[in-house]
């Protein structure tokens, strides 16, 4: 069975600094018309940085949509045309103040496939050297280390609610347990 829908016409409602919003005319696989609302986002990166003591580096920062401080792995938005891997290395140093000698690609994460085209590229990092944090002018966050096993417990207890963080923590844990990372 064909599952693909077709774009008939893209209708931009809002074009912003980070996102664009469309209300498209589309066609279902059976040929019937439909409306699809889409948030365009440039994508992002997330890095699970593991210390020699088997701790992950986390950042805590205020997330305005939830009006709360959220614990996440270091992450950020892709700049236009930026390579995701290079972005991940940049974000790790900017937010957590470290660089890694070894990286592993953990794949792509679709945070909200029902309406948003954002793709987050996940990476693991180890063999860390601590440098200096270099936050953006409008960025305020605290860095902390959480043991990997504790981070897994926090995912399972819903203490880490961020989806990209949950996925990366669990992937790193499985890779470590299998001796693959």
Show the beta-strand stretches assigned E in 6-138.
6-9, 12-15, 20-27, 33-40, 44-49, 55-63, 68-72, 75-77, 98-109, 120-130
Is 93 one of the annotated active-site residues of the chain? no
Residue with tokens 């994508």, as numbered in its chain: 43
Q: Which two tokens stand for residue 115?
A: 């309406």
Phi, psi (degrees; rounded to nearest 5) at 31: 90, -5
- Which entry of 68, 79, 137, 153 is annotated as an active-site residue? 137
The CA-based dihedral angle spanning residues 59, 63, 68, 72, taken in that order and rounded to the nearest 10 degrees: -30
| Residues marked as catalytic | 137
């Amino acid at each position: 069975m064909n599952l693909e829908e077709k774009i008939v016409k893209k209708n931009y409602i809002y074009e912003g600094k980070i996102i664009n919003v469309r209300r498209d005319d589309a066609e279902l696989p059976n040929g019937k018309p439909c409306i699809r609302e889409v948030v365009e986002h440039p994508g992002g990166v997330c890095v699970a940085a593991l210390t020699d003591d088997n701790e992950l580096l986390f950042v805590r920062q205020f997330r305005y949509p939830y009006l709360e401080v959220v614990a996440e792995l270091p992450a950020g938005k892709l700049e236009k045309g930026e390579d995701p891997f290079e972005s991940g290395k940049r974000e790790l140093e900017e937010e957590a103040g470290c660089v890694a000698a070894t990286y592993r690609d953990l794949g792509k994460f679709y945070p909200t496939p029902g309406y948003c085209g954002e793709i987050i590229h996940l990476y693991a990092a180890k063999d860390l050297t601590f440098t200096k944090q270099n936050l953006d002018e409008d960025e305020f966050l605290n860095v902390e280390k959480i043991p990997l096993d504790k981070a897994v417990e926090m995912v399972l207890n819903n203490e880490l609610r961020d989806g990209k963080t949950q996925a990366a923590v669990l992937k790193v844990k499985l890779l470590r347990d299998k001796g693959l990372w």
